[in-house]
Structure 1
Amino acid sequence: MAYKRFTFFGGKGGTGKTTCSSAYALHLARQGVRTLAVSTDPAHSLADAFGTGIGSSVVKLEENLWGLEIDAALEAKKYMEGIREQMRQIVSPAIVEEVDKQLRIAYVSPGSEESAIFDCFVDLMEQAGQKYDAIVFDTAPTGHTLRLLTLPEVLGMWMEHLLEKRRKAMDMMRLASHYERDLLEKLKEDPVFDLLTRRRDRFQRARELLTNHELTTFHFVLNAEKLAVLETERAVALMNEFEIAVGPLIVNRVMPPETGSFFEKKRAQQTQYLEQIQKEFGQYGIVQLPMLDGDIEGMQELEKLLPLLAVLDAEKIAAS
C-alpha cells in the first residue's frame, strides 16, 4: 500500500480534524503499518476520539498503533532547561545568573511554546523509520499550525544571521588577541558557534523532511461553508509558497441529498460551496465524508470511516 511517512491533518477549528486523523491512523495500523498518532493541538481531543487515555508519553492503543498528546507547557519547560544547561557549559560563571534571568523571561514570552513543540516535533520526525513506519499529526487550528510548519524557514534564516554575527565577532577577537598566545589558543574553538551550527543544521533537516513530497503530505479538513473555504484558500497558498505538499482535501459533514424541507436551503448553500471547493482545490483531489447521525468516539465508531479514508493511501486521487 502507498502511504506517506508523515501525514498532517489540519484546518479551521471544529471541522473534524481529530476524527479524520484518528481514523486514518487506525486505518494504517490495521494494514500492518507501525503508526504513531500525535496531537499538537493544545486542546487535545485525540484521547476522546480513540476513547482511551493518552498523555504526554507515548501509549500503545492497539497492535501497530500508538498515541501521544504533546504537552506544550511541559515541552517549553524542558526546552528552556536544555538551553540553560547548554549555556552553563559555554558562558562564563560570572554571567550565568543573567542568562538564567533572560531564559525565565523567554519562557513566558510569545512563541516559546511553539518553539518547544517544534523541537519535539522534529525529534519525532527523526525517529520515524526506526520506531514507526508512519506518523499522523492531528494539528492545531490553521493559524497556529502554519506558524509551526514555517518555523524551519524563519528560524533557519535567523540562525544564519546569528552565525554571521558570531563569525565576525570571533574574527575581531582573534585579531585583537594576536599577541596574546594563551588567549589566541582559547579562541581556536568556539562552542557558541558550534551550538548555533547544530541548531541551524537541525532546522535545515526539518525543512528537508517537510518539503520532501515523497515523505510528507498535508490534508486540509474543511466543511462546505464560506469561512472554512476562505481560510483553506489562504492556507493552501502558504503551503505552496513553502513547498509543503498538499494532499487530497477532506470535506466533512456533507449533507445527504434527501434532506427534508427544513434543510433544503442549507443543502443548497452547501452544494454551492462544494462546487467552489472542487473548482479551487480539485487539482489536489477531494474526499467527501457524510454528515453522521452521532458523535465519533472510540475504535468502533472510527472504524466506520476507514473505507472512506483508505483512498488517501493512493498516490493521487482523480480530480473529478
Structure 2
Amino acid sequence: MNEIKNQSILFVGGKGGVGKSTSASALALMFAKSGRKTLIISTDPAHNLGDIFHKKIGEEITPLFDNLWGLEINPELETNKYIKGVKNNLKGMVKSSMVEEVHRQIDMAASAPGAEEAALFDKIVSVILEEKEEFDKIIFDTAPTGHTIRLLSLPELMGVWMDGMLERRKKTNKNYSQLLNDGEPVDDPIFDVLQRRRDKFARVRSIMLNSAETGFIFVLIPERLPILETEKAIELMKKHHLNIQGLIVNKILPPSADGSFLKKRKEQEKDYLQMMKKKFTDQRLYEIPLLEEDVCTLNHLESFVQHLQREVYDKV
C-alpha cells in the first residue's frame, strides 16, 4: 500500500492552490536526504520550483542540493523544438516544390489546441527514457488537475492514433508496391519515423502502467471542492488505466489551533477528513498539518519534509 518509497517515477498533481509544488518539492528533498539521487521536474507553465528552492532553474538539469537536481520544462520552447523536429523529419520525404506549403501547414498546426501538450509530452517521454537509469527518483510537478489528466492520457491516445496512421501507411505502401513496383517492398522513411515514435510511446506507456515503477499522487486540502475534484480525477485516470495511489492531505489544522473561529473550522474539517477516508479507500492518505508560516524558506520546506517523512516512513 505504500509503494511511494520504492517507485522510481512519481507524478504529483492536484487542484491549483493546494500546495502541489510544495508537496512535490518536499518529496524530492525527502528522497534526496535519504541518499536517493533525485530529479524534480516542473511541467507547469507557472513554474514554482525556482522560487521554492531559491535557485534559478531552467531548461538544463540544475544541481539544487546533495543528491537533488531540478528542471523546468518550458512548453512554448518545447513546442518550437517539436515543430522544428517534425520539419527535419520531413527533409528528403517531400518534393522541394511542396516544402514551403508543408511547412506552412505545420506552423499552423503549432497553434492548434493540443499542440503544446503534445510537445510537452514528447519532452517528458525523452526525459523518462534518457534519465530513468541516471536517477533513483524522478518527480514530476505537474500543472493543475485538468491539464495533468490530459497530459497523462496522451500515451494511450497517441498510441491509438499512431497505430491508425501506421496501418494506413502500410496499406498505401502495399498498394503502391503492387501497382508500380512489381510487388517489391518500397522504402518508406515516413513509416519508419512513425514506427520509431510509436515504439517510444509504447515504452513510456508500459513504464507508466507499471505501478511498481511509477506512482501518481494527488494533493488536496480538507475542503469540499478539492475533495470533489480529486474524486473526479481518480475516476478519469482509471479510464486510462492509471491509478492514483496516494493523496497528500495538506493544511490540516493542528490540535494547537484554538479560538472560536478555528474551532468551527476544525469541526467542519473533521467531517471532510471522514469523507475522504470513506471515499478514497484505495488510496493511502498522507496527512500534513497547516504550518504556522507559509513555506517560503528552505527551513519551512524542511519542516514540511519532516511531517511528510513521518507519514511515508514511520506511520504504519
Compute the TM-score of the two structures, normalised by the length of structure 2.
0.93
Give the residue type in structure 2 aligned to 1:296: V
2:118 alignment counterpart: 115
Within a 5 Å distance, the mapping from 1:114-153 to structure 2 comes to 114-153=117-156
Cα offset for 1:31? Answer: 1.1
**Contact 1:250–1:289 (CA<8 Å) still a contact in 2?**
yes
Give the residue type in structure 1 aligned to 2:269: Q
3-state DSSP class of the match of 1:88?
coil
Gaps of 5+ in 1: none
**Counterparts of 1:195 and 1:317, CA distance in 2:** 49
3-state DSSP class of the match of 1:90?
coil
Cα offset for 1:200? Answer: 1.1
**Contact 1:48–1:298 (CA<8 Å) still a contact in 2?**
no
Q: Does 1:253 align with 2:251?
A: yes
- Pick from 165, 170, 174: which aligns with 1:171? 174
Give the residue type in structure 2 aligned to 1:285: R
2:231 alignment counterpart: 233
2:193 alignment counterpart: 195
2:295 alignment counterpart: 296
Q: Deviations over 1:189-236 (max 9, x none)?
A: 111111111111111111101111111001110011111111100111
**Counterparts of 1:307 and 1:70, CA distance in 2:** 28
**Contact 1:248–1:317 (CA<8 Å) still a contact in 2?**
no
Cα offset for 1:160? Answer: 0.7
**Counterparts of 2:132 and 2:113, CA distance in 1:** 33
RMSD over aligned CA atoms reads 1.9
Pick closer, same or farther for the CA change 1:90–1:178 going to 2, 3 Å: closer
Q: Deviations over 1:88-114 (max 9, x none)?
A: 132222211111011110111111111
2:264 alignment counterpart: 265
- Pick from 184, 203, 206: which aligns with 1:205? 203
- How many percent identity over aligned positions? 41
3-state DSSP class of the match of 1:109?
coil
Pick closer, same or farther for the CA change 1:106–1:317 going to 2, 3 Å: farther
Compute the TM-score of the two structures, normalised by the length of structure 1.
0.92
Greater Cα offset, 56-65 or 126-135: 126-135
Give the residue type in structure 2 aligned to 1:199: R
Q: Does 1:59 align with 2:57?
A: no
**Contact 2:42–2:49 (CA<8 Å) still a contact in 1?**
yes
Count of aligned positions = 312
Give the residue type in structure 2 aligned to 1:56: E
**Counterparts of 2:154 and 2:306, CA distance in 1:** 35
1:22 alignment counterpart: 25
2:279 alignment counterpart: 280
Question: Moved runs in structure 1, 4+ residues, more than 4 A?
Answer: 311-314
